[in-house]
Amino acid sequence: MMLSELEAKELLAGYGIPVNEGRAACSAIEASEAARHIGFPAVVKVLSEKIVHKSDLGLVALNLCNPSDVGRNAERILAKAHTIDPDAKVVVESMAPQGTEVIVGARRDPQFGPTILFGLGGIFVEVFKDVSIRVAPVDRAMAMDMIDDVKGYAILKGARGKKGVDIEALADIIVNTSKLMMEQDRVMELDMNPVMAYENGAMAVDARALVRD
């Protein structure tokens, strides 16, 4: 079964992986209430096991600056999502600042057991499939190697006057993901896509986990 974004993030947070704060809401009022609590700017996304491609379906609203914007967008998203999944809710999150998008994932391979994947997000992973993979457990040195291995490493290090990202923070996420996979037998697949990498720190902005029933 697929864990919801909130459940997946709770699992990650338990292993020291930074995630942005989020709350589930079933209505526009609940959503704006949640946003008031979390702070602005906020994000509203659909929360449903059945809906995978959230942005493609227009079920994500970014950079909402006041409660009424949050309420309006929550209402729109809920209405649209209910045509696909009547149980769909929304999640209200603090808007993570733009950073360099990377992906960290894990999968339980039938022959080798837990494997960890790292790559640059966006077109790097979609088009170029520029990822590096290791069989867990992955220690710190191996995590640094994994990051170094992707062809887009230059972008992470900082190129053409752009500052680099916090590679140590990414290595921490990789090591903690490895730890999670080694300890949580029921997790079959895990996706953190994207993880926002900043000059200081990194954070999983979206997450999905497939767990054994």
Partner 1 sequence: MTDSSLNPMLRPRSIAVIGVSREPSKWGYKVFHNIVSNAYKGKAYPVNPSTPDIDGIKCYARVGDILGEVDLAIIIVPASAALQVVDECGAKKVKALCVITAGFSEVGPDGAVLEEKLKQKAASYGMRMLGPNTMGFVNNSISLNASIVPRMPPKGEISFITQSGALGLSLVDWAIGSNLGMNCVVSTGNKADVSEADLLEFFEQDKGTWTIAMYIEGLKDGRKFMEAARKVKKAKLAIKAGVSQAGARAAASHTGSLAGSDAVYDAAFRQCGVVRVEGVEEMFDAAMALSTQPKANGNRVAILSNGGGAAIMASDACERRGMKVPELTRHTKAGIARLLPAFASVKNPIDTVAKSDYDIYREALKMLIDDKDIDCVMVIYAHAGFTSAAEPARAVIDALKEKYPKPVVACWMGGREVNAVAGMFRRNRVPFYPAPERAAEALSALIRYNGFLKEAGK
Q: Which residues bind partner 1 (CB under 8 A)?
A: 2, 103, 105-107, 109-113, 115, 117, 119, 125, 129, 131-135, 142, 189-191, 193, 208, 210
Q: Give yes or no for a contact between 104 and 118, defined as CB atoms under 8 angstroms apart.
A: yes
CB of 116 to partner 1, least distance (A): 9
The distance of closest approach from Cβ of residue 123 to partner 1 in the complex, given in angstroms and rounded to an integer, is 14
CA distance 127 to 147: 18
Nearer CB in complex with partner 1: 69/108? 108
- In the complex with partner 1, the residue whose CB is nearer, 133 or 169, is 133
How far are the Cα atoms of 28, 34, 88, 92, 183 from residue 25, in angstroms, in the given order?
A: 8, 7, 10, 7, 31
H-helix or E-strand containing 107?
strand 100-109
Q: How far is the CB of 112 from partner 1 (least distance, A)?
A: 4
Nearer to partner 1, 129 or 160 (CB): 129
Q: Supply the minimum distance, in Å, between the C-beta of residue 120 and partner 1.
A: 12
Token pair for 66: 């006041």
Where are the alpha helices (H) located in the chain, listed in sequence order?
5-13, 28-38, 67-82, 123-126, 140-149, 153-157, 167-183
Q: Which is nearer to partner 1, 137 or 164 (CB)?
A: 137
**Are 48 and 84 a contacting pair, CB within 8 Å?**
yes
Identify the bridge partners of residue 211 per DSSP, sorted by sequence position. Answer: 187
Taking the complex as a whole, the smallest distance from the CB of residue 104 to partner 1 amounts, in Å, to: 9
99 versus 105: smaller Cβ distance to partner 1? 105
With H, G, I as helix, E, B as strand and everything else as coil, classify residue 123.
helix
Q: How far is CA 37 from the centre of its chain?
A: 21
Instruction: Compute the least distance from the CB of residue 162 to partner 1, in Å.
Output: 26
Nearer to partner 1, 61 or 190 (CB): 190
